[in-house]
Homo-oligomer: A and B are copies of this chain.
């Protein structure tokens, strides 16, 4: 139980649900929480959730969105102070994996509700776009003079695939949770493109 302004109406139930949802997600394995469970934790009836979210899917998407906000903050903080663009790129790439390691269930949830490329283009995003855009933006500045556009697109795809794959496989236990190893993997990728 958290935050309850006693009385029939809650005051700000929606954000209370999200906050408790995030807390409960952290205690799960796969990042899935039940609506009834979070309602119970919030001290409210099960169906009250439906006044703020159309269904469970929408609620989990909201949780994932909050997670992307946290990720964006972490990446921004990691990149701050890095004057050199390539250092900034490596920093936010590593921050991506570190975030996954620090919040395994939340990251798994986020992976399931990650905005698609279409969501990006058509601007139908709240704010969760920023996390993903950071990486590709840095990469765009990092590779200004590539021969052709397609080569740059390939490099961008490699970058996000590498970083996302690292995070996914570390959480799955296929890659050792070794921070220096992970940082090395990201660093070397960055240097390939920068030193060439």
Contact = CB atoms under 8 A, between A and B. Distances in A.
Interface of A: 30, 111-112, 114-118, 132, 150, 153-154, 157-158, 160-166, 168-169, 172-176, 181-182, 184-185, 188-189, 192
Nearest to A172: B114
Nearest to A112: B30
A69 to B, nearest CB: 18
Interface centre among A30, A112, A162, A182 (most CB of B within 10 A): A162
20 contacts: A30-B112, A114-B172, A114-B174, A115-B174, A117-B173, A117-B174, A118-B173, A154-B181, A154-B184, A154-B188, A157-B169, A158-B189, A160-B169, A161-B162, A161-B168, A161-B175, A162-B165, A164-B169, A165-B165, A192-B192
| Residues of A contacting B: mostly | helix
Given A111-B172, A172-B111, A174-B116, A181 B165 contact: no
A8 to B, nearest CB: 37
Given A161-B165, A161-B169, A162-B161, A175 B117 contact: yes
Contact of A165 (B30, B150, B164): B164
A174 to B, nearest CB: 6
Nearest to A182: B157
A24 B128 CA distance: 33
